[in-house]
Structure 1
């Protein structure tokens, strides 16, 4: 029936018995009459309607109403039923005497009991509590909650035949007679006893099941034959928690100061934690551990010794009880523990980063022994006993661990010496070499104990051991490992003794200025002069060097200056310069221009003289990587002054025949030149560095594991910095942006390309055909009448010089110029630059396009048929993924603004240099912030060389007047024509 909120009402809580769930409470509101008496008019109150009655509710009521709601049978079914069912079906099935779900029953019981305990505790706050009548009347009988808690005393009386056991209860100093009084336990965990209309709770949370048997029984009888087990399992825990009165056996309370024991043992990480207990000797026992696993942890176990007793810290109980059997009785030793002291000692471990929970802590093996080395001595001074558990297969050393390393400069190397201290044992540092390199951390001491090498030593000293030479009795480092020596010194990992001379390696700014050789023609820009000085610097220290300047900054001229210096300062043998075949003529051309005094041998071609005896007549031998592979056995018998590798990324694969061949050659000095020291992988760097400074980066396997994998797969910045510090003294790399102020606005360079044999054959056949016809026509008809044939012939020769496929679509061979073009594109694009590529032949651009497509290099394209010209320009200017713009001369010579590019490739020379200049100016114009590098590709020994010579000869004429090929032809003399076709 409905309760009106406009009239007085009260909130009450009514206790009733549920068939399956035990005793429960239900919450009600009850109408109050004018005499302030509760009436029969009532209704349930729940969280859904509680706000209607808020005027009479306090915060405790809201909590109680919520808890009461949670234990009603409908709420229990909703929470624990996996599928939709009725309340009756759920309870009949779950609590069936034979087929019921015992696990679910226990779960529900714990759930209900937990909430009943909270409800009973909250009802102490002056709440009205009743027993519900059998007719459902909520206010049938009022009950009270005792304001104080009762105490309980357990009695044991042992005689010759058995032991009698029973409890007594006291409240407010008076004994409560509860047996045979219709007392009811309304909650078991903890016990709440309803006796004579009063609900009692207990000072020590006693389990109601310990009282239940005695509600209608005077005592329990324990037969003599089972008493020992009963005492151990039941009586001892009672003695720990409650007051016990005993007759026939002793209970002795004892008190001592606790002594902490920290034991440790190995445990495989994938094993389940063992079930552990502490025996009378204070040792930790457990199941068998898998000692074969490589992933091992150390289990620490903390216990406390009180006199002769040892207790685990899994439970911080104020009292611990152990049972002693005497000849005719038993003694319960009731140990009073100092819980505050135990907590403080656990905190001491926590302050040292060992978090002990339930008496245990786990650490990785390396961390565990590092922790022991750092803290064991200090903890022992504070009273801790630290030891390994007996029964382990290995006896570990846990004393102080430290190392002292010294590095001393010798004539051509560094001597490494040092001592490792494991407590009283002193071990030569060299003895750790195989352990560090193989990452074995267990070192056996002379007394048989196993010492754990600290994990940080593997990081700190692995390069030292990996890069060192020597046998089992000595360690040495080559001088080129100066950066590693500095790092060890700066990290206080070694004491270093060295000469002042080596200090120059620390900073390049201290490099001595060297005079230029007398025979060098020309002038080096300031940054080139600095590079020339650096080449002397590494040479004087007998190091190999890598000159890795950006393309176009003059690696060739800096190298030639050094070679000229060597010649003028008494070099005893020739130097060897190895390069891709396509670069031979560029080097010859540059040498003729800057160092005409160098005696140079072009050691290439099928008909080369295969003997090293001829080298004594030369200062410099030019050859290709292919020739080195073929003539390796011959060349390795000669001691060169310098071996220089141009485009040294050619040996980036350390296992290739080329790499293996060049490493077998011998020289006093080594130098590599490259604009791209790393093309695909960090291993590229290892291969090149190992050529100039063998052993600098260790062997391949070490480098892959310690540098390549962490840098490329794990993006390890520490390893990247470490590698940089190792190679920094031996690489000089300047970018265009760094030397921009020293560069002219435009830099133009000729790139000579050697034709392939098939290409050369096609060229010679075409040249012979047209030469005979044209020269005959000149004799018979004069210059004017042979102009068309001359124009046709020169066009064919120019096409073949680019790629024979331009003149003959059936040609299936390669082009020397195309190989060089693609190599240069890869270099420029690989370093993040943008390049314009011009040709007057659309077919030539088509061949380049096909090659770029094959290599997955994106580009924009423009020729006379392109409709969306501005769209192509905008894409190139704004899209960072597009690095190449292919442009035909007629379509792109004028009217384009392409300032995103800082490189221009002219694939074929044009008669009018003014037209070439217009092409370059597509990039070099207002808005361009970078120096523009122009490369003009010229096929060696072709008409293209003759066109260049003609340009220079008649520069003013072609600049002022000539605008077409026909114009040029009209102005050619008979001598000019013969020169072009020679």
Structure 2
């Protein structure tokens, strides 16, 4: 019996071993074992190709997943789990030895290593061979918008979709392929700073060499001035990037439209301030009537997606930047390009993104930045414009400009580098003409200051607030002086500390319990001057005809309009909250109706792009914070077609900070003159006028205290 039992047990043992071997050949581990041996053999023979590397990565990934599955499987006994993990360790050991032979494979073991499509497919094949069904691939998450535009804000007008469907195969233009950039002599130099400084140092007038005007076909009744024809001829000759910085009033819109026609740069994208959107459509219909133009309002549901010229304003660019990126534009014009000087702003990022997309699709697109005031406060205001034009990126010059700089044979360590670099940048496409040089028939202009006394309770209140602000500045100065830890001692007034205290005050934009900041003070001064400025405007209108009235704040405009109504003067109004149609209607009324004597304009809404030359007198009821804004307003009437001397009457509140602001605005006027016009005029600091006003106020208060103490 014992022997029979033994025979029976012995008979069962071979069958058990067979079942165990069968189990050993099931599942993913045998598949991995075969694959890892194939990888090991290939590496030993030195035949490591792409498929071998893919197999190595997939085996390593599946080993990890199987190890995690085994550790989490509660149905396995500890003995079974240990046996399976031991087999996986054997595979992992072969992987490690293989990677030691070819260390380039180690990168494939990293947790963040990317998997190719071939690797995913091989993984699925191995899982199916092991009797498992691969899990479905998760839906890919939509790529985040590079500009951070929410999906709910993006739109694609219906007619644009129709255009896309009619031409689905929009192929990039590779007719000009940039050559390889080899080692460069200037590669290790920081060049953007020196390039900007080269314009700060002055020099010859900033205008590239332009060819003589050529005969061209123009609509009946229209003609170009010589300076306009020169730029169009340049585009016809093949030049494609321009910073067109002609003084306001010299016809930049016509030059841009005709340059696009000469360059065949259609479809053409034109990005403009909202206030001039309608005017651009009118000008396009006037100068290039053979080209269809469409203007985008809001979501653009009513636009013509097949139009040759697409006009959009900065404020709604975020909704349309998606489809515009792939629309196939061959040209882009940015009007009032100083609007993009702040690279951190959304509108600047959208403009730069679109220009990059256009350059990627079209080999030589037409890119034009139009502005009569390219510098607002700093030479560095050039940077975003130059990036839009493709001359530089955010760190260095691009290939074409770098080639030109290399040709000089100079470095920023050589004094001669700066005038040479300036000349090379100008030839990239800077065009700057002054009225006095190219339009001698335009009458002269002058800015006349008209001091007014602020009387009554409001005047006394403003002067008291200024004294309180000066007292607060002195108190801050004294506190900073008393708590200074550096041990620095300065005889008399510490002007470095004065500037620091003024900076602190400027950054404190909230009204304190003891007084108000300089921003609120200037607004109150504007309110106090409103009635006086309106009275003077009414007198001018009675004596000289039509007058343009500019103000910064709505309440000042309201006071002016109430004054004109009491005086029986007809007026129209241009404000920021108007629709383009209403704004254009009000402009037309002022220009065409002889009974309308005054147009009341917002300095921000009407300070750019409008033609109000029917008037030759302008009243600035409030001061701007920049000379550029003031100049833009004046140039609404001082432009081509003006046949009368122009006077801008600047209303100044005497014995207030208003007078200091006016002086600072005038001192800032030299910045653009030096950078673009080759002027030798000395310029003041490029710091904000607000800061300079506070510095002057604190310095004056400290000087008065010292004089009293003496």
TM-score, L = length of structure 2 = 0.35
More helix by proportion, 1 or 2? 2
Larger radius of gyration: 1
Task: Select the structure with the greater relative contact order (CA < 8 A; seq sep ≥ 6).
Answer: 2
More strand by proportion, 1 or 2? 1
